[in-house]
């Protein structure tokens, strides 16, 4: 953008609606592309039964290992199941796990972070526990948890929430620590506001921007780690198709039926990429100052 282009720019408020949208797209191409891809993925997952899919667990031994074609868009697997249907239904698991983990992690992390940052007596204890959890590599923690309980979607979600929460706690706490010195918090305290009121009315709204951005990153890692767990056999049980376990089953067919690995992995990569792009875009839009605290 050179100085010449700036001369012709009309003030944002005076633009008609469609031009506002267009300018937004031109200025944030990657964010918009990411959001569009993510919306597509969500729609695919939501309307999976109506998208020319067949039952993803129906076996059809006659049609084993068919190459992608008109009847089976993504080919069929070693049991003759339709790969396209399995990949589309797999989107449901990935997105569901990602969204639930991001939501719960954000809420729990926000609550614990607010307390840790504002109630000094508890801060030390909480942060030592968080350090301890963070000392365990996240995939390993999730593996141990699922391995010791039972491979189910619920346990995978719990296994992902545990290692992700400390990251949110640390972020919220660091924001609260700077906020608590601000005059408006001091004023509220001086006016006799109780601690819960200060936390909810004064501190919480100021952490939301960072929290939303961090939530997208949590979602991206949750989707990736869920697929990794399922790939290792410690995730979604095999009777529910998920991108990770589809690839785990297809792994020995890398020479003869590469399409079985190509499509689920592609969908997974595109989903994670779109979430990351939306996260980066939100980060730049909401507040450039918080950018430094992320990651």
Partner 1 sequence: MLAYTLKRILATLPVMGFVVVFVFLLVRIAPGDPAAILAGDYATPENVQKIRAGLGLDKPIHLQFALYVGSLIRGDLGQSLHSRRPVSQLIAQRIEPTLALALSTLVFAVLTAVPLGVLAAWRAGSLVDRAVMVIAVGGFSIPIFWLGFLLIYLFSVKLDLLPVQGYVSFREGIVPFIQHLILPTIALGMVYTALLARITRASLLEVLQSDYIRTANAKGLKPATVLFTHALKNAAVPIVTTIGVGFALLIGGVVITESVFALPGLGRLTVDAILQRDYSIIQGVTLIFSFSYALVNLLVDMSYTLFDPRIRY
219 binds partner 1 (CB under 8 A): no
Stretch that binds partner 1, among 17-25, 100-108, 201-209, 228-236 (CB under 8 A): 228-236
294 binds partner 1 (CB under 8 A): no
| Phi, psi values for residue 82, rounded to 5° | -75, 115
Q: Which of 33, 273, 285, 286 binds partner 1 (CB under 8 A)?
A: 273
Task: Report in angstroms the alpha-carbon separations of 272 from 59, 98, 118, 154, 237.
Answer: 30, 10, 34, 21, 22
Stretch that binds partner 1, among 2-10, 15-23, 193-201, 266-274 (CB under 8 A): 266-274
Scan for tokens 């944002």, then name that residue. Answer: 12
Q: Which of 87, 100, 110, 224 binds partner 1 (CB under 8 A)?
A: 224
Residue 7 vs 256, nearer CB to partner 1:
256
Tell me the per-residue interface mask from 231 to 250 with partner 1, x by CB under 8 A, - otherwise.
xxxx------------x---
Q: How far is the CB of 55 from partner 1 (least distance, A)?
A: 25
Q: How far is the CB of 44 from partner 1 (least distance, A)?
A: 18
74 binds partner 1 (CB under 8 A): no
226 binds partner 1 (CB under 8 A): no
- Rounded to whole angstroms, the Cα distance separating 2 from 246 reads 49
28 binds partner 1 (CB under 8 A): no
Q: How far is the CB of 60 from partner 1 (least distance, A)?
A: 25
H helices then E strands: how many in the chain? 12, 0
- Rounded to whole angstroms, the Cα distance separating 79 from 77 reads 5
Residue 136 vs 195, nearer CB to partner 1:
136
- Yes or no: say if 243 and 230 are a contact pair by the CB < 8 Å rule: yes
Residue 208 vs 291, nearer CB to partner 1:
291
| Phi, psi values for residue 113, rounded to 5° | -65, -40
Q: How far is the CB of 20 from partner 1 (least distance, A)?
A: 26
Q: How far is the CB of 275 from partner 1 (least distance, A)?
A: 8
290 binds partner 1 (CB under 8 A): no
Beta bridge partners of 76: 82
- Rounded to whole angstroms, the Cα distance separating 270 from 89 reads 16
Q: How far is the CB of 23 from partner 1 (least distance, A)?
A: 20
- Rounded to whole angstroms, the Cα distance separating 156 from 151 reads 7
DSSP character string of 220-274: HHHHHHHHHHHHHTSSS-TTS--HHHHHHHHGGGTTT-THHHHHHHHHHHHHHHH
Q: How many CB atoms lie within 10 A of CB 106?
A: 21
Q: How many CB atoms lie within 10 A of CB 30?
A: 15
171 binds partner 1 (CB under 8 A): no
Q: How far is the CB of 198 from partner 1 (least distance, A)?
A: 30
| Phi, psi values for residue 76, rounded to 5° | -125, 160
* Stretch 78-137 residues interacting with partner 1 (CB under 8 A): 128-129, 131-133, 135-137
| Phi, psi values for residue 45, rounded to 5° | -65, -45
Quote the tokens at residue 26: 């031109």
Give the interface with partner 1 as residue ranges (CB under 8 A). Answer: 128-129, 131-133, 135-141, 143-150, 220, 224-225, 227-228, 231-234, 247, 251, 254-255, 258, 261-262, 265-266, 268-269, 272-273, 276-277, 280, 295
């Amino acid at each position: 953008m050179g100085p010449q282009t700036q001369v012709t720019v009309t003030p944002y408020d005076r633009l008609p609606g469609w031009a506002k949208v267009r300018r937004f797209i031109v200025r944030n191409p990657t964010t918009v592309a990411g959001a569009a891809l993510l919306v597509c993925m969500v729609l695919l997952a939501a309307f999976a039964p109506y998208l020319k899919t067949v039952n993803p667990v129906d076996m059809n031994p006659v049609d084993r290992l068919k190459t992608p074609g008109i009847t089976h868009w993504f080919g069929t697997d070693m049991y003759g199941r339709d790969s396209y249907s399995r990949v589309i239904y797999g989107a449901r698991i990935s997105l569901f796990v990602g969204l639930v983990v991001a939501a719960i992690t954000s809420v729990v992390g926000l609550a614990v972070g607010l307390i840790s940052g504002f109630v000094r007596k508890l801060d030390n204890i909480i942060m030592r526990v968080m350090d301890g959890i963070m000392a365990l590599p996240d995939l390993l923690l999730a593996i141990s948890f699922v391995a010791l309980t039972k491979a189910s979607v619920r346990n995978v979600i719990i296994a992902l929430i545990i290692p992700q929460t400390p990251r949110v706690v640390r972020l919220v706490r660091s924001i609260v620590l700077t906020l608590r010195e601000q005059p408006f918090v001091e004023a509220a305290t001086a006016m006799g506001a109780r601690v819960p009121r200060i936390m909810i009315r004064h501190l919480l709204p100021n952490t939301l921007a960072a929290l939303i951005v961090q939530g997208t990153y949590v979602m991206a890692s949750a989707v990736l780690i869920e697929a990794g767990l399922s790939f290792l056999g410690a995730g979604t049980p095999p009777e529910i198709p998920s991108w990770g376990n589809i690839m785990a089953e297809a792994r020995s067919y890398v020479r003869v039926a590469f399409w079985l690995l190509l499509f689920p992995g592609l969908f997974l990569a595109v989903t994670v990429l779109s979430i990351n792009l939306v996260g980066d875009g939100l980060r730049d839009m909401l507040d450039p100052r918080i950018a430094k605290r992320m990651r």
